[in-house]
């Protein structure tokens, strides 16, 4: 069933993750081809693959292009009907592939699917990056079924369904190759973080659907390259989120949302500084300056058609931090 599926792991100095998690991927690959795209690692990752995982196909990038550019470069040489873009710090489970491919068969407009993503360190809880499927609010704040900002739900079977969502997590992203390339892949300028949300938004603007299936599950460590407290991660999330909205938000929402986000991001910078250190305040400022630098290029990528109803809830940040709501949005 999986002959048209390529499982593709992007690696950059992740030898320890490959050692730990590649065995489960190979064990449960169900005849799919397994690839590792290497972003010019210097930690003997390639030697490990050649000596211990000879069935894995290796694609070598000539430099570290980041997550977005790294996949764009490496996938050009991989031929398959479906890609599974899989983080190196993910443990897969038995029968994780068939439910996804079966769901693709039900509707040709389904472009991307993610499984249930649980925490590797605590299997009872959802994992930050994707959980039970990605959504977005009217101010452009991404959240998940099972995770709102830093609050993560326990898995009690509440998301064992199959449902249309807004974005699928890049830590385990099944996607039709034709839909990936019709959008010219990820926006390589993002480097890392929120590039999958931007891609899913662009696909939805073009009439495609994004889905989640709770019939498949994986376990994700998270923070394998940049942990949640990294100022660089704060910078990338701020810059990329603003660029994504400029590219995809419809008028007149674009004007008032960006204006309000300037104010809210300013307030958030002090919260981040209090919580994680002063370097995060500067990271927010750098994120805004990075967004301003991106504006000319981002505007050129803006399409004629944007979804008029792009969000699942309104005023998430106020409901969460002021209203005390933690889940079930």
Give tens-digit pLDDT for 81-131. Answer: 999 999 999 999 999 999 999 999 999 999 999 999 999 999 999 999 999
Identify which has the larger pLDDT, 146 or 3: 146
pLDDT for 223 equals 64
Place of tokens 């100022």: 231
- The verdict on residue 180 lying in a domain is no
Residue 260 lies in a domain: yes
- Looking at every residue in the chain, the average pLDDT score rounds to 94
Is residue 38 situated within a structural domain? no
In a domain, 159, yes or no: no
pLDDT band at 328 (very low <50, low <70, confident <90, very high): low
Q: Give the rounded percent of residues in the chain with a pLDDT score beyond 70.
A: 96
Indicate whether 313 belongs to any domain.
yes
How does DSSP classify residue 253?
A: H
Of residues 113, 145, 128, 119, the one with CA closest to residue 213 = 113
* pLDDT at residue 226 in the model: 52
**What is the tally of structural domains in the chain?**
1
Structure confidence at residue 299 (pLDDT) = 97
Q: In which band, very low, low, confident or very high, does the pLDDT at 151 lie, cut at 50, 70 and 90?
A: very high
Nearest residue to 228 via CA among 270, 174, 265, 283? 283
Encoded tokens for 56: 């894995």
Residue 151: phi and psi, rounded to 5, are -90, 120
| Structural contact between residues 244 and 198, judged by C-beta atoms closer than 8 angstroms | yes
Cα torsion for 227, 130, 192, 5, to the nearest 10°? 130
The average pLDDT across 195-213 equals: 97
Question: Which helix (DSSP H) or strand (DSSP E) does residue 112 occupy?
Answer: strand 110-119
Helices (H), 5-151: 15-27, 45-52, 66-75, 98-106
Mean pLDDT of 25-46: 96
CA distance 275 to 206: 39
Question: What is the rounded distance in angstroms from the CA atom of residue 76 to the CA atom of residue 315?
Answer: 40
Cα–Cα distance list, 296 to 61, 134, 291, 300 (Å): 28, 28, 10, 7
pLDDT 10s digits, 217-268: 999 998 655 555 789 999 999 999 999 999 999 999 999 999 999 999 999 8
Q: How far apart are CA 193 and CA 141, in angstroms?
A: 13
Tokens of 319: 């409901």
> What integer pLDDT is reported at residue 61 of this predicted model?
98
Q: Is residue 200 assigned to a domain?
A: no
43: Cα separation from own chain's centroid: 25
Which domain does 241 fall in, by range? 231-321
Q: Which of 55, 51, 63, 49 is nearest to 14 (CA)?
A: 49
Compute the distance between CA of residue 60 and CA of residue 102 in angstroms, rounded to an integer.
Answer: 32
Tokens of 20: 């730990």
Residue 292 lies inside a defined structural domain of this protein: yes
**Residue 1, pLDDT above cutoff 70:** no
| Within-domain flag for 27 | no
Cβ 11 vs Cβ 40: under 8 Å? no
């Amino acid at each position: 069933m999986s002959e048209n599926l390529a499982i593709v792991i992007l690696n950059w100095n992740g030898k320890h993750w490959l050692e730990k998690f590649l065995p489960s991927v190979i064990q449960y690959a169900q005849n799919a081809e397994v690839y590792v795209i290497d972003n010019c690692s210097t930690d003997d990752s390639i030697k490990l693959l050649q000596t211990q995982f000879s069935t894995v196909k290796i694609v070598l990038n000539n430099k570290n292009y980041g997550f977005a550019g790294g996949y764009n470069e490496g996938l050009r040489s991989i031929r398959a009907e479906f890609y599974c873009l899989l983080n190196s710090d993910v443990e897969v489970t038995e029968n994780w592939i068939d439910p996804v491919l079966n769901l693709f068969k039900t509707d040709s407009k389904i472009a991307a699917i993610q499984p249930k993503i649980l925490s590797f360190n605590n299997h009872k809880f959802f994992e930050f990056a994707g959980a039970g499927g990605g959504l977005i609010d009217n101010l452009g704040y991404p959240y998940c079924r099972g995770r709102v900002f830093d609050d993560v739900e326990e898995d009690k079977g509440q998301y064992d369904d199959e449902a249309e969502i807004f974005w699928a997590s890049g830590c385990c992203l099944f996607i039709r190759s034709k839909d990936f390339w019709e959008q010219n892949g990820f926006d390589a300028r993002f480097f890392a973080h929120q590039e999958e949300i931007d891609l899913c938004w662009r696909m939805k603007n073009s009439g495609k659907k994004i889905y989640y299936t709770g019939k498949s599950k994986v376990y994700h460590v998270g923070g394998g390259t940049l942990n949640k407290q990294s100022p660089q991660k704060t910078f990338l999330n701020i810059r990329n989120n603003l660029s994504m909205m400029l590219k995809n938000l419809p008028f007149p929402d674009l004007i008032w949302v960006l204006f309000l986000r300037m104010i809210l991001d300013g307030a958030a910078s002090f919260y981040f500084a209090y919580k994680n250190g002063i370097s995060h305040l500067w990271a927010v400022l750098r994120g805004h300056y990075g967004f301003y630098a991106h504006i000319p290029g981002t505007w050129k990528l803006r399409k004629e058609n944007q979804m008029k109803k792009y969000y699942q809830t309104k005023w998430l940040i106020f409901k969460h931090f002021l209203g005390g709501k933690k889940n079930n949005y």
